[in-house]
Amino acid sequence: MQFTVASVLNIFLFGSIVAALVLLLLRKTAFLRKIGPTCGIIVLAMVVFRMLLPVEFPYTYNFYVEDILTPFRLLFEIVLIEAPVEIMVRHVLLMVWAGGVLYLLIRKVWVYRKLQSYVSLLDFQPLPEFCRENGLEAPGAEAEAVSAVVVKDAVSPYLTGWRNPRLVLPEMDYSTQQLEYIIQHELMHRKGGDIFWKVLLDLLCTCFWWNPVFFFLKREFFHLIEVRNDARLAEALSEEDQLAYMECLFDTAVKSRQKSMVLGTPFNNSRAGELKQRIRLFSDGYHLSRRLQTVFIAGAVLVLFLTTTVVVDATSTDPPPGGGTPITPENAYLIQNGSQYEVYLTEEGYLCTVDDLLGFEKLPVYESLEEAEEAQREENSR
């Protein structure tokens, strides 16, 4: 596998197009009703995984576009400062990228510490004990390590913490039945390891903060997790109980404040459109189509695989220094010399020396001239 500027730009463009199409489909309630939230989560996970690998594989075909893309490629090579250290546009972009990652990491750590500082001041009690005192149905075994507390803040109920999970409930006029629904819903997050996925996707969004597609993928991913938990609860509820659950969702959305949460899974942090979809799916149920599920997953696998087979790259019809033909993998190669690379033309011999591989990523690299000549002889003998 090879990491190049072209591979990063290609997955940014084509991967973003695929992700946008998937997100548009999942926003259609009729479509989601037929494939189910779990199928949607699987496809989103595949899209995220593909976008995390902006590399060229051994079977990747390089499709060269002459002249048109060259100005964009050369933009990265513009020298801004020549001395004492040469700084190009790409160096500045990398520094901006790293600076953005550092800033967002510090900010997320600060938000998390602030939340934990607030939580540490609360008087928690074991969740089973909390349920007994409030006349609630005893939760399952997964609740043994969970503690709970009621606060006056108008927040959505949420579960926070990894090793020591804590359930924070607002002081709202929930019925006993609705409190049981909320606790069951939040325990599903713990059982499904959803906090791990939240941390992972938060880190991805932090590392690739310049790509807005990751933020939309993260939001949709967690929306589908909420929809999945709703669907699992609905299976065991009567129509009357389902109505009470929907009222609980709506009341929480109206009365609570939405806020970003690190290492937390809120009961309802949905926007208006997402809340509407959750309620419609919960009330109307699902009409799953195995055929559509298969087509959706297989289609996503095929399209994502196709993004690994071709990389559109820039080349130029302009001759190299000193005249001649354009430099391609068919007529040139590189010899590594320390931190530099010597460019050789197959017919003419030595051409020039470059400091890095930018613009020459596709050329084969050899450790010595003898190795290059041996490779040429083997190629000619085939």
Task: Say if residue 319's pLDDT is above 60.
Answer: no
Distances (CA, A) of 50 to 19, 60, 223, 301, 330: 10, 14, 21, 10, 30
Predicted local confidence at residue 269, as pLDDT: 62
Percentage with pLDDT > 70 across the chain: 89
Task: Name the nearest CA neighbour of 283 among 238, 253, 223.
Answer: 238
- According to DSSP, the β-strands at 340-345 and 349-354 are antiparallel
Burial of 320 (0-12, 13-18, 19+ CB in 10 A): middle
List pLDDT tens digits, range 172-193: 788 888 888 888 888 888 888 8
Predicted local confidence at residue 69, as pLDDT: 60
Counted residue by residue, the chain has a size of 382
Distances (CA, A) of 102 to 171, 207, 211: 37, 9, 16
DSSP character for 340? E
Helix (H, G, I), strand (E, B) or coil at 3: coil
Predicted local confidence at residue 259, as pLDDT: 53
So where are the chain's domains?
Answer: 5-121+183-311, 319-381
Cα 62 from Cα 73, distance rounded (Å): 15
Predicted local confidence at residue 317, as pLDDT: 45
Q: How far out from the chain centre does Cα 295 lie?
A: 23
**Average of per-residue pLDDT across 213-230:** 89
Task: Say if residue 286's pLDDT is above 60.
Answer: yes
Average predicted confidence (pLDDT) for the chain: 83
List pLDDT tens digits, range 94-141: 899 999 999 999 998 898 888 888 888 888 999 989 888 888 887 777
Helix (H, G, I), strand (E, B) or coil at 254: helix
List pLDDT tens digits, range 139-169: 777 778 899 998 887 678 888 877 788 888 8
Cα 249 from Cα 274, distance rounded (Å): 11
Percentage with pLDDT > 90 across the chain: 17
Is residue 36 very low, low, confident or very high in pLDDT (cuts 50, 70, 90)? very high
Is residue 252 very low, low, confident or very high in pLDDT (cuts 50, 70, 90)? confident
Cα 319 from Cα 323, distance rounded (Å): 5
pTM score of the predicted model: 0.75
Predicted local confidence at residue 67, as pLDDT: 57
Is residue 28 very low, low, confident or very high in pLDDT (cuts 50, 70, 90)? very high
Q: Is-contact 52 15, C-beta < 8 A? A: no
Task: Say if residue 323's pLDDT is above 70.
Answer: no
Q: Is-contact 6 63, C-beta < 8 A? A: no
Q: Is-contact 319 331, C-beta < 8 A? A: no
Is residue 262 very low, low, confident or very high in pLDDT (cuts 50, 70, 90)? low
List pLDDT tens digits, range 56-80: 888 888 776 665 566 666 677 777 8
Cα 175 from Cα 298, distance rounded (Å): 44
Task: Say if residue 304's pLDDT is above 90.
Answer: yes
Predicted local confidence at residue 332, as pLDDT: 86
Look at 290 and 282; give whichever has higher pLDDT. 290
Angle between helices 272-284 and 213-234 (to 10 degrees): 30
Phi and psi at residue 337, to the nearest 5°? -130, 90
